[in-house]
Amino acid sequence: MPVSIKDIAKEANVSPSTVSRALNGHPRISAETKTYVQDLARDMGYVPSVVARTLVAGRSTAIGVAISDVLDLFYIGLMSSIEDAIINTDYQVFVSSFYRDQVRELALANTFHERRFAGIIVGGSLVDETYLTLPSRSFMPVVLVNCFTYPFSVAVNQSLGAYKAIEHLIKLGHRRIAYVAQGLNSSAESQRLNSYRTVLNEHHIPLDEALIVKGDGGISGGMKAVSQLLDLPQLPTAIFCFNDMTAIGVINALREKSYEVPRDISVVGFDDLEISAYYQPALTTVRQPIYRIGKSAVNMLLRLIGGDNDVVPEIIDPELVIRRSTAPITN
């Protein structure tokens, strides 16, 4: 068992409250007993119990971060930026993931609730507005990232991102543009897919549903998607991918079949991960400014925790980063 205030009190022949005062720099205490108790506490290896402190205070300094998938580097960047933003506050961050599973996501929210966390940030939620109905809502604020159906959120404008990507391809002369989806019921997914449909429509390009295939947000999903696309009677000349890892998978699978990017087929990603600039070919992609997102999410959460409910969703316009994986159509 850890050393408690009582143990120190007994050893020092004072009352527990005196120990508490000495340790918390309370004004009304003699300098003598103060240093004596402090030294003793140190020597006994005392570390205060935040558990007990939380119980009596009725509030916690723990902030939870729930991310959909640890293997998705976008969420890793989010995690990193959140930790960065919170390091200078009085709060501590604890991260867990729910592996793209609705049930696990809610279980995780419940875990945070059970532990009475001060608030949580969720990246890649699959249950969205459900958070509004949770009983924890009143005392454990929830901020979502990249979700548009929720009032407390920081989001990159997914529609605009997809729009910019597809427009870019169209300007390069492409008309047969495939979309490799993530295969999840996320807010980002539906926004991008809708935008894909809209832009094609605006440009009077007939929609071919066969060009919409499912990936899994990772390399292998991108590779499988390509094998589906290559079975088509008429190949696409460009592929818009849900994210950069998917794009890397796509490019690899194409290379295996001796299609070269961008000579034969153009590929656009989403996220702008660090690796994307250093991949061969360097990826054309839609940048999600993850650092800014994390900072804003933390900001918003801290305001909500402080009782300021007067926040508005923050929408960030993404930027298209043009590199070497896209080129004008040749044939």
| Residues of this chain that bind a copy of itself (CB under 8 A) | 1-3, 44-52, 54-55, 58, 60, 62, 70-71, 76, 79-80, 83, 92-97, 99, 110-111, 113-116, 135-136, 139, 218-219, 248-249, 252, 274-275, 278-280
CB of 44 to DNA, least distance (A): 11
Q: Which is nearer to DNA, 30 or 194 (CB)?
A: 30
Q: Which is nearer to a copy of itself, 46 or 240 (CB)?
A: 46
**Among 5, 85, 13, residue whose Cα is nearest residue 47:** 5
**Among 167, 231, 235, residue whose Cα is nearest residue 205:** 167
CB of 44 to a copy of itself, least distance (A): 8
Retrieve residue 240's tokens. Answer: 């818009």
What crossing angle do the helices spanning 187-202 and 158-171 adopt, rounded to 10°?
A: 40
CB 108 within 8 A of CB 322: no
CB of 95 to a copy of itself, least distance (A): 4
CB 186 within 8 A of CB 152: no
Cα–Cα distance for residue pair 251/219, rounded to 1 Å: 9
Q: Give the Å distances, CA to CA, from 246 to 72, 113, 281, 288, 303.
A: 10, 34, 14, 16, 36
Among 42, 45, 56, 204, binds DNA (CB under 7 A): 56
Among 11, 44, 48, 295, binds DNA (CB under 7 A): 48
CB 182 within 8 A of CB 216: yes
Q: What is the DSSP letter of 288?
A: -
CB of 313 to a copy of itself, least distance (A): 26
Tell me if 17 contacts DNA by CB under 7 A: yes
Cα–Cα distance for residue pair 237/174, rounded to 1 Å: 6
Tell me if 45 contacts DNA by CB under 7 A: no
Q: Which is nearer to a copy of itself, 80 or 190 (CB)?
A: 80
Burial class, 291, CB count within 10 angstroms (exposed 0-12 / middle 13-18 / buried 19+): middle
Q: Which is nearer to a copy of itself, 27 or 135 (CB)?
A: 135
Q: Is 90 helix (H, G, I), strand (E, B) or coil?
A: coil
Q: Which is nearer to a copy of itself, 197 or 287 (CB)?
A: 287
Give which of a copy of itself, DNA, none residue 57 binds (C-beta under 5 to 8 Å, depending on kind).
Answer: DNA
Tell me if 234 contacts DNA by CB under 7 A: no
CB of 31 to DNA, least distance (A): 7
CB of 276 to DNA, least distance (A): 47
Residues that bind DNA (CB under 7 A): 1-2, 4-6, 13-18, 20-21, 23-24, 28-30, 32-34, 46, 48-49, 51-53, 55-58
